[in-house]
C-alpha cells in the first residue's frame, strides 16, 4: 500500500504554468506506474499523463507538448509540469499509483485556469 498527497494546485491565468507534486508515503522505486488524472466539471475523469517504473510516459492528446510528467525516486515524488494552461485544463487533479492489482489514489488538488 501507499498514501499519496498532491500539492501545487491553484488559480492561474490562461497561458500560465503550474507544477503539481504527488508525494508518496514510501519508496516509489518499485511502483509499476503513477498517473495524473483530471476530473473536469461535467466530464468523466480522464488520464492526463502516466509514467512507469521504467520511465516510459504517455499523455492525453489534449496535453501533449504542454505537460510533462516526471518522477524523483529519491524524493518519492511524481511531478506534473503544466505549461501554456488553458481554461479547459480546469479540474481536480489526482495522482494514482498502480501496485500489483491495486490502484491507490490521493485526495486531489484543484487547478483553476481563468481566461
Tell me, rounded to whole angstroms, the distance of Cα 95 from its chain centroid. Answer: 5
| CA-closest candidate to residue 47, choices 82, 96, 87, 14 | 96
pLDDT tens for each residue of 25-80: 998 888 999 999 999 989 999 999 999 999 999 999 999 999 999 999 999 999 99
What is the strand order of the sheet 18-24 is part of? 4-7, 18-24, 77-82, 67-72
pLDDT at res. 30: 84
Distance, CA of 30 to CA of 99 (rounded, Å): 8
Query: Is residue 100 predicted with pLDDT exceeding 90?
Result: no
| CA-closest candidate to residue 6, choices 62, 48, 44 | 48
pLDDT at res. 39: 97
Task: Name residue 30's beta-bridge partners.
Answer: none
Distance, CA of 55 to CA of 68 (rounded, Å): 12
Neighbours of 58 (CB within 10 A): 13
Amino acid at each position: 500500500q501507499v498514501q499519496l498527497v498532491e500539492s501545487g494546485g491553484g488559480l492561474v491565468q490562461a497561458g500560465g504554468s503550474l507544477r503539481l507534486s504527488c508525494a508518496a508515503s514510501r519508496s516509489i522505486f518499485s511502483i509499476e506506474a503513477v498517473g495524473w488524472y483530471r476530473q473536469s466539471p461535467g466530464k468523466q475523469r480522464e488520464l492526463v499523463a502516466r509514467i512507469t517504473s521504467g520511465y516510459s510516459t504517455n499523455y492525453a492528446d489534449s496535453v501533449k507538448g504542454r505537460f510533462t510528467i516526471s518522477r524523483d525516486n529519491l524524493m518519492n515524488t511524481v511531478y506534473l509540469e503544466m505549461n501554456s494552461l488553458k481554461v479547459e485544463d480546469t479540474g481536480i487533479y489526482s495522482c494514482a499509483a498502480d501496485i500489483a492489482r491495486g490502484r491507490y489514489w490521493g485526495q486531489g488538488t484543484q487547478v483553476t485556469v481563468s481566461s
